[in-house]
Amino acid sequence: MTCDRLVCANCAGPVSEGRCSVCRAHRERLHQENGPFSLGSLSPAALAALLLTLIAVALLARQAAV
């Protein structure tokens, strides 16, 4: 989730601008939750590619074991 479209309940300004302490705190919390390795930050296409890659590796491992 990004803070681009969020509106602060405290100051009624965009959270991305960080006008008040509530905005800044929420924006900081969002950036900490969405680290570079967070699954929530991956797009659906990236998740599908990851799933297909894992299936391909599993099939290759199964074939090599036989």
Q: What is residue 23's DSSP assignment?
A: H
pLDDT tens digits along 3-59: 678 888 889 988 888 889 998 888 888 777 655 555 566 678 888 999 999 999 999
Q: What is the model's pLDDT at position 65?
A: 87
Sequence-ordered list of residues with C-beta below 8 angstroms from that of 8, at least 6 positions apart, any chain? 14, 15, 19, 20, 22, 23, 26
